[in-house]
Chains A and B, each alone.
Chain A
Amino acid sequence: MRCEQFEQRMQGLLDRRAIPERDSVLLSHASRCLRCRTLLHCESEVADFLGHDEEPLPNGLTRSVMADLGLSSQRPRRRAWCLGRRWQLVAAAAAVSLCVLPAVFPRSQRSRPLSGAAHQSESSGTPAVVDNTVSPNPMGDGQATRQLVTLASQRLERADEVATTVAGDLSPWARSIGAAFAALTGGWSSPERETARQPRGHSD
C-alpha cells in the first residue's frame, strides 16, 4: 500500500463511521510508515475533539427561550446585539416624530384661537371655554377639562405673541440684509425702491 492509498482508505473508513485504528490494512502500513502513523494519530485526535462537547451549556438557556416565546414571566436574556439595536430604534422613532409632528400640527393650527364663546366662570372665577368641540368629561362635570383647554389656549396665544414680537424685532435686520444683497446683485427690489419707481406722472 502506498501513502495516497492509505489516506483514501482512511477517508473511506471515516465516511462509513468505522474506526481507522482498528483496520488491519491501515495498521500494517502505519507500522512501516512514520508519516501515515502520525496521520492516523492526528485523525484520532480530531475525532475525539469533534465527538465531545466540553463547553457547559449557558445558564438559563431554556428559561430564556421560554421567555422569548412568551411562555414565561421572566424577561428574556439580553442578546449581545440587542442593546445597540434598541438604541437605534429609539433614535429612529425620535427622528420620525420630529419630522412628522410639525406636519400633523402645523403652526397655524397651534396658534389659532379656539372657536366658541369664552367666558369667565361665575362660580370659580377661572376662565373657561365653552366650545362645541370640547365635550364634557364623562367622569365629571367637565370643569377640569375646560380649565385645561383654557390654560393650553392661553399658553399658545402667549407663545404666538412672543413669536410675533421676535419676528417684528428681526424684520428691520432682514430688510437690511435684503437691501445689502440687492445692492450686491442688483436684481432685488425693496418696498422703498418700488415706491421710488412709481411713475412720475402720477405725482403732483
Chain B
Amino acid sequence: MITTPDRIEIRELVKRSLAGDETATRMLVQRYQDRVFGFCLKILRHRQDAEDAAQETLVRMIRSLRRWDSTRRFEPWLLAIAANRCKTLLARRAKRGKIWPLRDVACQRTGRTDESVAWREEIALGLAQLRPEYRMALVLFHSNELSYAEIAEALDCPIGTVRVWIHRARRQLWDWLARREMLEKVSHAV
C-alpha cells in the first residue's frame, strides 16, 4: 500500500469528521465537490440534475464515512457513490423520456474559437449517445484518472469488462464524429 501525504490527510479528515468535527466535514465536501459535480455533469449532461446528484452524493459520502476502507483510495469509493446516483437519475429519466440538452453551454462562455466550440459540442453529443456504462467508464478513466481496477470496483464489474467498455466508447465516439462529418472537416483542414 502506498501511503501518500494526501491519503494521510484524508484519513485524518475522515477521522475528525466521524468524531463530529464540522470543519473537517466542510473541508471534505469542499475538497471533492468539483470532482463529483464534474463527473455528474459529464454523465448526466444536465446542470440541474448534476447539481442534485452531486449534492446527494456528498451528503451520502459524509453519512457513510464509516464504510470507507481507509487502506484504499478515497476518490474511487466516492465516485462509486456518484456513479450509483447518476445511474438512478438516468433510470428515472429513461422512464420519463426526458430529452438530452443539445448544447454544451460551457463552451460558449470560455471564449473558445468557433471550431473548438463545434468540436466540443459534437463530442458532448457523442458522449450522450453512448451507453451509460460506457460513458461512465470513459469519464472515470480520462477525467477522474481512475485505474481500470478502481473503475471496476466503482462500477461493480470485472476489469476486462471495463477495458472493453472503454475501447468501445472511444471507437463509438470516433464513429460518431465521423458520421457528423467532423473528421471530414479535419481532413479538409489537414
Say which residue of A11, A14, A69 sits within 8 Å of B62 (CB atoms): A69
Interface residues on A, range: 35 or more
Residues of B near A71 (CB, < 8 A) are 22, 25-26
A43 at the A/B interface (Cβ < 8 Å)? yes
On whether the beta carbons of B52 and A81 are closer than 8 Å, the reply is: yes
Residues of A near B51 (CB, < 8 A) are 58, 61, 77
Total A-B residue pairs with C-beta atoms closer than 8 Å?
Answer: 111
Say which residue of B58, B163, B183 sits within 8 Å of A15 (CB atoms): B163
8 A Cβ contacts from A37-82 to B: 37-39, 41-43, 45-47, 49-51, 53-55, 57-58, 61-62, 64-66, 68-69, 71, 77, 79-81
Given contacts A39-B183, A54-B109, A65-B62, contact A77 B55 (CB under 8 A): yes
B120 at the A/B interface (Cβ < 8 Å)? yes
B10 at the A/B interface (Cβ < 8 Å)? no
Measured CA separation A10–B52 after assembly (Å): 37
Measured CA separation A17–B141 after assembly (Å): 9
Residue of B42, B107, B186, B187 ringed by the most chain A CB atoms within 10 A: B186
By Cβ-Cβ distance, the 8 closest A-B pairs, closest first, are A53-B38, A50-B142, A54-B106, A55-B106, A65-B58, A38-B186, A49-B123, A38-B183
Q: Add 9 more A-B contacts to A15-B148, A61-B51, A69-B25 (CB < 8 A).
A: A34-B190, A42-B183, A49-B119, A54-B106, A54-B107, A61-B58, A65-B29, A69-B63, A79-B55
